[in-house]
Amino acid sequence: MTKKAFTKFELGNKLTLQNRIVMAPMSRGSSTQEGNLITQEYIDYYTLRAKNEVGLIISEGVYVNSTNGFTSRYNNTRLHNQEQMEGYRGLVEKIHETGSKFAVQLWHCGPASDDPIGPIKTQKWGKTVNVITKEQMAQAKEDFVNSAKLAKEANCDAIELHAGGGFLLDAFISLTNDRKDGYGSTFEGRIKYPLEVIRAVREAVGEDFPLIYRVSQFGFGEDFSEIKWRNPQELKEFVLAIKGAGIDIIHVCDYKCTKITFDDQEEKNCLSAWAQKLSGIPVIATGGMTYSNTLIESFMSENKSPVSDPEPHLALIENNKVDLVGVARGFINNPDWVIKVKNGNWKELKPFGKEDLMKLI
């Protein structure tokens, strides 16, 4: 019998996928130096995975501006003008020829930007993060809206808003956000700006265009141990709020997406399963799908990450705990990940080492 992970997924009449496997975003830094346009190498990279039956491909984080929303650590593509849009339209056309679907992830780095800004003044990665002004907040919201319109014009099948990892939208919901201007201190204050961005993007793309929201418990840099939702009630308030603002799918990223969250609860669920249960909308679970160590552990090791059985992750779908699963590192050396795992040949998957990020296969 075919596992549910390899069966069709439908989001009403908004989106239909050939299976429930999602290629999760990974910064590959493959844009042109001039204009930050998508390269042919990058198009070939995504198209090869689409040809190998990925249900939904989500792009690397795509910068929404060239002013204060990007980091030069990653030479990622950008999407804020017509020339950049045309490059993505060419990519989407190639992907659609395979039967796969494509979403672009829109990214404002905020505290991780070259010119760091965030809800509060703090230190990140050896830099001072300055307090974002109301004018900068309005501009960033408009940048998200502009990029969303361009993504729709490029015929993308969905948009993902990057609201995890400690970046701009995520920084606002952090418990450290103690702003006193209505955009911090309380749950309602901390989530106010992210909801304004969601609503603005939803209005720009219309009710029938799928919106995905990427979240994580952890931040970046020094904040890998941060906990945003300390119990199911806090998570419930959050997921219902973003759902009400117009989000269709929640993308939950964790180091190991099967890890039990809220240990003190009688019901034992991972964070993704809790998000699905409490929101009532589809959830993508991403984290630790292909390898036995975590992303951070693999970056710190000189050895290749050993392959592990993906069955516990696929079981989340089989047991109706989540709706889709995300694979990131597994696709770097394994364009045919879906076919191998579907056919029971997961032991043939290639291991991953940090040096593999230096090339596109």
| Structure confidence by residue, pLDDT tens digits, 105-120 | 999 999 999 999 999 9
Question: What is the structure's pLDDT at 222?
Answer: 53
| Structure confidence by residue, pLDDT tens digits, 199-248 | 999 999 999 999 999 999 876 555 566 788 999 999 999 999 999 999 99
**The tokens of 69 are what?**
């929303």
Could you write out the DSSP letters of every residue in 287-298? SSSSBSS-HHHH
| C-beta of residue 115 within 8 angstroms of C-beta of residue 131 | no
Q: With 50 as the cut, is the pLDDT of residue 1 above it?
A: no
CA dihedral sign of residues 155, 158, 164, 165:
negative
Q: What is the mean pLDDT of residues 334-358?
A: 94
User: Which pLDDT band, with edges at 50, 70 and 90, does 151 fall under?
Assistant: very high
Q: What is the CATH number of the domain that holds 60?
A: 3.20.20.70
Domain carrying residue 162 = 4-358
Alpha helix stretches (DSSP H) within the chain: 40-51, 82-96, 134-153, 168-173, 187-205, 232-245, 271-279, 295-300, 311-318, 329-332, 337-342
| Structure confidence by residue, pLDDT tens digits, 58-79 | 999 999 999 889 998 888 999 9
Helix (H, G, I), strand (E, B) or coil at 171: helix
| C-beta of residue 289 within 8 angstroms of C-beta of residue 327 | yes
| Selection from 11-20, 27-36, 286-295 with the highest mean pLDDT | 11-20
Query: Three-state SS across 99-127?
Result: CCEEEEEEECCHHHCCCCEECCCEEECCE
251/261 Cα distance (integer angstroms):
16
22/19 Cα distance (integer angstroms):
8
Contacts of 356 (CB under 8 A, 6+ apart): 332, 333
Number of compact structural domains in the chain: 1
Contacts of 1 (CB under 8 A, 6+ apart): none
Report the C-alpha dihedral over residues 263, 268, 273, 277, rounded to 10 degrees: -100
Q: What is the mean pLDDT of residues 247-259?
A: 94
